[in-house]
Amino acid sequence: MGKGLAGLWLVLIVVMVSACGAPQFTYVANSDGHAFFKVPGGWHKISDAALAKALRGGSGGSGQPSGVWSVGYDGSPAPSASHIFGSGAQKPFAFALTEPLSSTASASMSYNELRDIFLPVTSATRQSAKTSGFPLTGFRLLRDSVLTPGQGVHGVRVTFNYTFPDGSTDTFDQVAFTNADDTEVYLLVLHCLATCYQQNHNDIDTVMTSFTVRSN
């Protein structure tokens, strides 16, 4: 009896000790539990309000359209929502978004649409953006691959550089998925200075490959 009791207490203590310390990653899931990714434990979450403000370009208003979910994580020790579109990010900034598609958007959905979802990537879109005064220049595609993780979910991962007007070049890494019937789009974008991208290549790849969509 005594031995059993001691054994049990030992197990408890081992479990408690092993459970001590911070978790390695922060695990993120969207509100309806369909999209997941993880970021290193040291990254900070941007508050929903600040993120929403940054997304609307500081135009105020309240809340997000229904069904839209977004989240931002900043690797910088001084996290800020402005890093989402700002140049010269010394540390990676991750932004994720899920959004239902209207029936017209759903009908015209393609891999190219997914590539161009955050910034112009395909040449046609870049051309039209340029004519309409898009400020970023120096596009350079580093990676373009099609992803089909299963359950009808499909998408693209593109990595590219853009030079901001102030001369700093950022590397953008983007994964965009849509579900089997093209009714929802899932996006994860991460960017920082090209040098930062090089330095944190492993962490960034872990974050980007962790992006998982479960279609129901």
Q: Which residues bind other proteins (CB under 8 A)?
A: 1, 4-5, 8, 11-12, 15-16, 18-25, 27, 29, 33, 36-38, 210, 212, 214
CA 155 to chain centre: 14
Closest approach of other proteins to the CB of residue 27, in Å: 5
User: Which residue, 29 or 109, has its beta carbon nearer to other proteins?
Assistant: 29
CA distance 32 to 54: 23
**Closer to other proteins at the Cβ: 83 or 154?**
154
Instruction: Considering the complex, state which of residue 17 and residue 78 has its C-beta at the smaller distance from other proteins.
Output: 17
Helix residue ranges, H only, the chain: 2-18, 48-55, 103-107, 111-115, 123-131, 194-199, 201-210
**The pairing of beta strand 184-193 with beta strand 169-178:** antiparallel
Q: How far is the CB of 94 from other proteins (least distance, A)?
A: 14
CA distance 72 to 77: 14
In the bound state with other proteins, the residue whose beta carbon lies nearer, of 18 and 103, is 18
Closest CA to 208 of 183, 177, 173, 182: 173
Length of the chain: 216
Q: How far is the CB of 28 from other proteins (least distance, A)?
A: 9
Tell me the CA distances in angstroms from 178 to 122, 149, 181, 210, one per residue in order. 18, 11, 8, 16
Shortest Å, Cβ 208 to other proteins: 12
Burial class (CB in 10 A: 0-12, 13-18, 19+), 150: exposed
Residue with smaller CB distance to other proteins, 27 or 124: 27
CB 135, min distance to other proteins, A:
36
Q: Which is nearer to other proteins, 4 or 61 (CB)?
A: 4
Question: Shortest distance, CB of residue 154 to other proteins, whole angstroms?
Answer: 18
